[in-house]
Amino acid sequence: MTRANFVQKGSYEPAGLSEEFIVRLLRRHIEEILSTYAKPTSLNPQVLDVGCGLQPFRKDLEALGYTYRSIDAEQNLEGTVDVVCEIDRLLPPDVTSYGTFEFILCTEVMEHVADWNMAFSNFAKFLAPGGRLLITCPHFYQLHEEPYDFWRPTPYALSYFGDRFGLKILHQVNAGDAWDVLGTLLGSVYSLPASHSLGDRILNKVVSLCSQFLFQVLMKRRLQSSVHLHGKFYLSNIVIFEK
């Protein structure tokens, strides 16, 4: 299959209603993780940005002192992807010539990666001893970048593949609560009347207005500050592995 030119982010900001909760949530967590877990410890540290897109975190990583390297399954619009390749394939010499990396960033990519065995094998191969890997991927989200949308992993899936390839978990978060899940759902769907009857059209209008109102309330965090909605639902997996 030939990959389409999917929308790529130059900055980590929501591009639509469906992204309002998950992107803001991820940006906050990623920024905290970079300041806590990604500080270089060697003299000439390298970072690899896997599935880099338009490289929204490049400046942050370079500001930490890293030499920035990037791979993606397709070249971006600015032509700044160092090596065009897929993380679940045998990586070309252009990547292997860089040596090992102190930090690997892989955000919102693994749901689009078919072969996790090969991907984690590559991560383990290219991490320096003591190197760290940040993976984020959604647990609840709509289909996107089809047909390259394969997985919605659980925390146990990430733990399993880390253990299998000698990567221990330093930090793991099931990010976002049930309110965030509901907000993401409301931002991803719309209603239509089931028929042309007056009753169905009126009911659809009521549903539509109620959905829009609830979405706006959730965006302003009013309900969340007063009512905690409990349940085993969350938006995104966030994991730091260490070799």
Q: Is residue 5 part of a domain?
A: no
Cβ count near 176 (within 10 Å): 24
Cβ count near 220 (within 10 Å): 10
User: In terms of residue numbers, what domain contains 100?
Assistant: 17-177+230-242
**Which pLDDT value is given to residue 12?**
83
Please check whether residues 98 and 173 belong to one and the same domain. yes
Q: Is residue 133 part of a domain?
A: yes
Burial of 196 (0-12, 13-18, 19+ CB in 10 A): exposed
Please check whether residues 234 and 189 belong to one and the same domain. no
Q: Is residue 36 part of a domain?
A: yes
Q: Is residue 8 part of a domain?
A: no
Please check whether residues 94 and 160 belong to one and the same domain. yes
Please check whether residues 110 and 153 belong to one and the same domain. yes
Per-residue pLDDT reduced to its tens digit, 74-129: 999 999 999 999 999 999 999 999 999 999 999 999 999 999 999 999 999 999 99
Which residue is associated with the tokens 């949530």? 25
Please check whether residues 23 and 139 belong to one and the same domain. yes
Please check whether residues 104 and 55 belong to one and the same domain. yes
Please check whether residues 237 and 221 belong to one and the same domain. no
Q: 3-state class of 22 per DSSP?
A: helix
User: Which residue ranges of the chain lie beneath pLDDT 50?
Assistant: 1-2
Where do runs of H (alpha helix) occur along the chain? 20-37, 58-63, 93-96, 116-126, 155-164, 178-186, 198-219, 222-226
Please check whether residues 40 and 144 belong to one and the same domain. yes
Domains contained in the chain, number: 2
Please check whether residues 214 and 116 belong to one and the same domain. no
d(CA 54, CA 75): 9
**Which pLDDT value is given to residue 2?**
46
Say what the pTM is: 0.93
d(CA 46, CA 63): 12
∠ CA(56), CA(59), CA(61), 5° rounding? 95
CATH number at residue 72: 3.40.50.150
d(CA 174, CA 234): 6
Query: Contacts from 23-32 at CB under 8 Å and sequence distance 24+?
Result: 25/175, 25/176, 25/180, 25/235, 25/236, 26/107, 26/108, 26/136, 26/175, 26/236, 26/238, 29/136, 29/173, 29/175, 29/238, 30/57, 30/107, 30/134, 30/136, 30/238, 31/60
Please check whether residues 115 and 206 belong to one and the same domain. no
Please check whether residues 184 and 109 belong to one and the same domain. no
**Distance between start and end Cα atoms, the chain:** 34
Cβ count near 181 (within 10 Å): 20
Q: Is residue 12 part of a domain?
A: no
Please check whether residues 51 and 126 belong to one and the same domain. yes
Q: Is residue 203 part of a domain?
A: yes
